[in-house]
A and B are shown apart, each in its own frame.
Chain A
């Protein structure tokens, strides 16, 4: 970040969080939309973390599904839930799961890393889909509206409660990821992308550095999953399908993988396009998103947040 200077991108982040807090007060239908954007951004933060190391996980939806099902299983087998309890369950289960999977996958890079992640996530998906007795199969498990610290709410109030919980969690995750990327560990994570061999010459274990990043990103995925399960009141195997993983990588590239704020910019555009396209062009929202993705990749590979920097460079006449 270079000193304590206030960067424009930080300003954009602050404005975005303010908008997420205030705008839904005027347009009630935005409460759920923003909650969903924030929850998904938390997952995408995890993808961006791994992108810093140059690794793409095409199976990250497994942690998302893990968090969602942790909440759903509690509701199904134990009883009344609480938002904070669900978040805790989602975070713990996905962290443990991430540690186990991570121990295997951090030995590999690039395509092999992506492949192994995909393989693990498809195993989880088939289990969720086929262990009908425990998971209700493709129908998924309904997640009853949980309380917050013992207080229950009506649906109208609850959409705001979950919005502000998501907002606080997202802000914390954003700051946490920023802090992590600024720390020595974060710099070492980036070094895996630029020159892993040199990193090892420094006496550091690249695998351990990547493992820490991986577990952190799984942790974020689980929190996002628990939040989405609460917001949508359901957890289905679809949450862990490979298309979901692709969607998260899509959002990361759409927003821009170079900065943590990319997750929020990407998720906001993605969900807004989906929200409005599904309402007006119900048959074509996927097509529209596909075209948006192609345009971004071909003409703005830095993502949305890269656009501004490119404009600045062009003005200075550099390159």
Chain B
């Protein structure tokens, strides 16, 4: 493997990690607060991408620069509308019930959304690369790459990370969310509306997944099944990092993104295997993830 390929692999890995991070941090946030593994998370990713395609194909004739707000608008619409409806009407009735029922509710949502996606947008691949073409290519150590992928995507990911950190640690709303996570009963007792916290958290998490999908749109073609692939991948990242770990998700996304990118150039058939192999190996040694806090068994 020569140095050009190595640089190419690093750039691939970074841009891929940025997308995976956005999706998995949403999953991690939802689990951290609601204690629900959201199986439908990949569907938010897919819906975000498809709606972004619809929006940007609609505004592109006016001005191609409008496609950027279109991507953002699509992800917020999906997060607030889909996420909000699902939390309010499907998840809320099952809090406190068996874990398997909560998991299966989101699995049912996944089935429904997967089907709706085929009904609404069909099964033909969809392309919309306007945002990618608008930004110039840049040269990194002699390797030419699109600045959309190596500058914009990582910037969005880093801003999201910093934003989430600031929001959770230094704002009142964040403190309220942490309070509910720590002790729901006590938080409710001092007048915090825990139900609203759950709703808002779920919307934020879903928006992040949709944002990942919307930003992935210019770099890939949209096909059925993209949601099903993304949920396990983002779950692998979130679980390897430790569910609920936000900074950990960033480090793990980068690690898995880079490992996957290098494997593509060395031994392409193992590309899909790498994230899951890393997940198995990490979970066997540290079931709470690389950055998770070990809970002692009370016996």
Contacts and interface: CB of A to CB of B under 8 A. Distances in A.
Interface of A: 51, 56, 58, 104, 107-108, 110-112, 114-116, 118-120, 122-123, 126-127, 129-132, 197, 200, 241-243, 246, 249-250, 253, 257, 283-287, 289-291, 293-294, 297-298, 301
A129 B270 CA distance: 10
Interface in B246-299: 269-273, 276-277, 279-280, 283-284, 287-288, 299
Nearest to B119: A283
A298 B91 CA distance: 10
B190 interface: no
Given A246-B107, A285-B115, 8 more contacts: A56-B100, A114-B103, A122-B236, A123-B276, A246-B39, A249-B103, A249-B104, A253-B104
Contact of A297 (B108, B118, B232): B108
B61 to A, nearest CB: 30
A104 B284 contact: yes
Contacts of B104: 246, 249-250, 253, 293, 297
Interface residues of B, number: 45
B60 interface: no
Contacts of B112: 286-287, 290-291, 294
A54 to B, nearest CB: 9
Nearest to A112: B287
A284 B115 contact: yes
A115 B239 contact: yes
B140 interface: no
B108 A294 contact: yes
Given A111-B99, A116-B284, A286-B114, A297 B279 contact: no
Contacts of B288: 112
Contacts of B231: 242
Contacts, number: 122
A125 B7 CA distance: 30
A130 B284 contact: no
Contact of B276 (A114, A126, A246): A126
25 contacts: A58-B103, A111-B99, A115-B287, A119-B239, A119-B276, A122-B232, A123-B277, A129-B272, A130-B269, A130-B270, A130-B271, A242-B231, A242-B232, A243-B228, A249-B103, A249-B104, A250-B107, A283-B119, A284-B115, A285-B115, A286-B112, A287-B115, A287-B119, A290-B108, A294-B108
Interface string B118-145: 1100000000000000000000000000
Given A246-B39, A294-B90, A130 B103 contact: no
Contact of A286 (B115, B236, B243, B283): B115
